[in-house]
Homo-oligomer: A and B are copies of this chain.
Amino acid sequence: MTDRTHSSTATEIVSIDPRTGATVGTVARTTTEEQLDQRCRAAAEAAGTLARSGRFWRAELLRTMAAGLEERRADIVAVADRETALGEGRLNSELTRTCYQFQLFAEALEEGSFLEAAIDHAAETPMGPRPDVRRLLVPRGPVAVFGASNFPLAFSVPGGDTVSALAAGCPVVVKAHPSHPETAELCGAVLGAAAERSGAPVGTLALVHGQDAGAQLVQHPEIRAVGFTGSLGGGRALFDLAAGRPDPIPFYGELGSLNPLVVTPEAAARRGTEIAAGIIGSVTQGAGQFCTKPGLVFLPGGPDGSAMLDAMADQVSDREPAILLNDGVRQGYLRTSSALAGEDGVRLVAEGAPPQAQGWSVPVRLLATETARLGPGVLEECFGPATLVVTYSEPQDLLDALREVPGSLATSLFAEPTEGELATAVSGLAQEQAGRIVFDGYPTGVAVTWAMQHGGPWPATTDAGHTSVGVTAIRRFMRPMTWQNAPEHLLPEELRDAPSQPVPRRVDGELTLG
């Protein structure tokens, strides 16, 4: 997801109301380099204890954290709404998602297969005698998490990266997002109290504020991995810092995605009006500030596609202005959507109600062009409530155009059963260019579950090999370790011949359920 936030050298971290643009108060101060160093060292000291804590204790820690958030639900939602204008309904759902995620990850810890335990007993092999080797994933160490502007509760202090790192057994230092510092402080206090109640070591969770602190965090010698959600520009800069360290560390960043959505000729003919409404609903959900927003909509040329575009335009014209997360996002939205409208062959088809006089309010925008006009200037993500319709004439135009779209989190396809060949072709392309393909549905709304992949080829993410949503997100913060000929008492519990709790393992090559 793309989001530009105002850089600031001020030492006061203020909370702003996006509905009015007014500064509500000072929440914190930027973290000094010395404070940051202390927090990272405390995290490093906590790392050993957390690594030895065991998965059942960590499951309880996650549940205690979820309970803590639930207990303060009303306060958290009220503060988050005041700082983000996302609305209490959405924020309640977001908090429910976050708490559910803590529970699901606690279950995954208890189930144990995330450890990838494997035992190969000593044996004779075609290459001679083999020693006893046993493998398990272990935590990487302190993790830096960058809060996202658009998910104050699901990708910020609590959320996907934090729960993944804690589940892995890694301490977390969160760089709070400047769009919701008070929410960050409140959630940090709630999670910190839960950690203390659980007997977690000091240093298990810490917060830092300020852009400089973010850059220092990625470069701090004690930090072993980074989870990031934000803009392509900011994310690339931090990725470069992580890769440029004397000891490079993995930087798991989600940076920006166009998420092409394709409507086939038959789908447009049979369900055009319904799909048109659904697309605009998806584009404007959360004021269009979702990383999975469909930013490119491919419609067939001819009367069915035209009817769909008209229906989408009607929907857009009726929309109230959207209130964006901060002034940086607002300016970026206006600049990018205006630049798009100014590109050769692109036209502004419809615009929603004009913005309010105060706050970070913007109109919803619908733009349109044709496959022949796609190019670098047009294939730009516009973060916020806008989308670009691209009309294609023949299936081949569509496929050629799709090949030009940069890596995305998701590709969506509306097709009829009679259109097997086209569906197969689009689906095949999606497998090269996205991390998820959605059939007859919209890409917004990412289920927190085992089988979810939220990640895709660059620039959607820095490494498509991982997900930031779903249980397998834990793996980002673990690394394999092998014990060779180890005495039983020096082995982790899960690698002993008879573990006290069942755990799925691969034993002498055979997968066992434990």
Contact = CB atoms under 8 A, between A and B. Distances in A.
Interface of A: 48, 51, 93, 96-97, 100, 107, 111, 113, 116, 118-120, 125-127, 130-131, 133-135, 138, 140-141, 239-240, 243-244, 247-248, 250, 407, 410, 417, 420, 423-424, 427-428, 431-432, 434-441, 447-453, 455, 457-459, 462-467, 470, 472, 475-476, 478-487, 489-490, 504, 506, 509, 511, 513
Given A51-B431, A431-B51, A452 B482 contact: yes
A46 to B, nearest CB: 13
A135 B451 contact: yes
Contacts of A125: 100, 447, 449
Contacts of A118: 450-451
A454 to B, nearest CB: 8
A334 to B, nearest CB: 27
A485 B453 contact: no
A423 B490 contact: yes
Given A127-B447, A127-B448, A436-B482, 8 more contacts: A96-B127, A120-B449, A135-B451, A247-B458, A417-B487, A437-B481, A440-B485, A472-B480
11 contacts: A100-B127, A120-B452, A130-B449, A133-B449, A247-B457, A248-B463, A420-B489, A427-B486, A439-B486, A441-B485, A451-B482
Contacts of A439: 483-487, 490
Report whether over half of chain A's contact residues are helix, strand or loop; otherwise say mixed: mixed
Contacts of A466: 480
B438 A120 contact: no
Q: How many copies does the complex hold?
A: 2
Given A435-B481, A486-B437, A504-B511, A134 B451 contact: yes
Kindly list the 4 A-B residue pairs having the minimum CB-CB distance in the complex, ordered from nearest: A243-B243, A453-B482, A118-B451, A135-B451
A452 to B, nearest CB: 6
A107 B506 CA distance: 14
A505 to B, nearest CB: 10
A248 B239 CA distance: 10
A113 B119 CA distance: 16
A173 B438 CA distance: 33
A254 to B, nearest CB: 14
A441 B484 contact: yes
Nearest to A509: B450
Contact of A463 (B119, B250, B451): B250
Nearest to A243: B243
Contacts of A451: 118-120, 133-135, 482, 506
Nearest to A245: B458
A97 B458 CA distance: 36
Contacts of A427: 486, 490
B437 A97 contact: no
B135 A483 contact: no
Contacts of A450: 118, 120, 135, 506, 509
Contacts of A449: 120, 125, 130, 133, 509
A102 B89 CA distance: 55
A105 to B, nearest CB: 12
A476 B467 CA distance: 14
A96 B127 CA distance: 7
A107 to B, nearest CB: 8
Given A127-B100, A439-B490, A451-B135, A465 B478 contact: yes
Nearest to A472: B480
A62 to B, nearest CB: 15
Contacts of A437: 481-484, 486
B482 A435 contact: yes
Contacts of A476: 465
B481 A436 contact: yes
Contact of A480 (B130, B248, B465): B465
Contacts of A51: 431
A126 B96 contact: yes
Nearest to A119: B451
A481 to B, nearest CB: 6
Most-contacted residue by chain B among A51, A134, A438 (CB, 10 A): A438
A486 B441 CA distance: 10
A324 to B, nearest CB: 25
A48 to B, nearest CB: 7
Contacts of A111: 511
A452 B480 CA distance: 9
Contacts of A480: 435, 453, 455, 465-467, 472
A493 B48 CA distance: 43
Contacts of A140: 464-465
A458 B107 CA distance: 32
Contacts of A407: 247
